[in-house]
Amino acid sequence: MPTVSERLYISGFLDQTFNLDLPDAFPTNPIVSEVQLGVRLFDRFYAVTEYRINQFRRGDEHNLAAGFEYKFRW
C-alpha cells in the first residue's frame, strides 16, 4: 500500500476496456477507476474516502464515497 506518512495512504486503479460492442450512449473505450485516501485512526482501523469513475454507468459516472475500513492481515 503506497503510504504518504505513517498514518496516511493513497491508492487506486484504472481499468480500460477495448473492442466492446456497446450502444452509442457509451464511450468508445470505457474506463473504471478509483482513487482511495485513507487515514489510520488506530491499529488497523482507517477512515477512507474514495473517488470513482465508472463509464459503464449511465448518468452517475462520477461518485464520491466515505466510510471505514478494517485491515485484515494473513
Whole-number Å distance between alpha carbons of 48 and 71: 12
pTM of this structure = 0.71
Give the pLDDT score at 15. 81
Give the pLDDT score at 39. 95
Whole-number Å distance between alpha carbons of 34 and 17: 15
Q: Which residues pair with 4 in a beta bridge?
A: none
Q: In what order do the strands lie in the sheet with 45-54?
A: 8-16, 31-42, 45-54, 62-70
Reported as a pLDDT band with limits 50, 70 and 90, residue 45 is: very high
Reported as a pLDDT band with limits 50, 70 and 90, residue 25 is: low
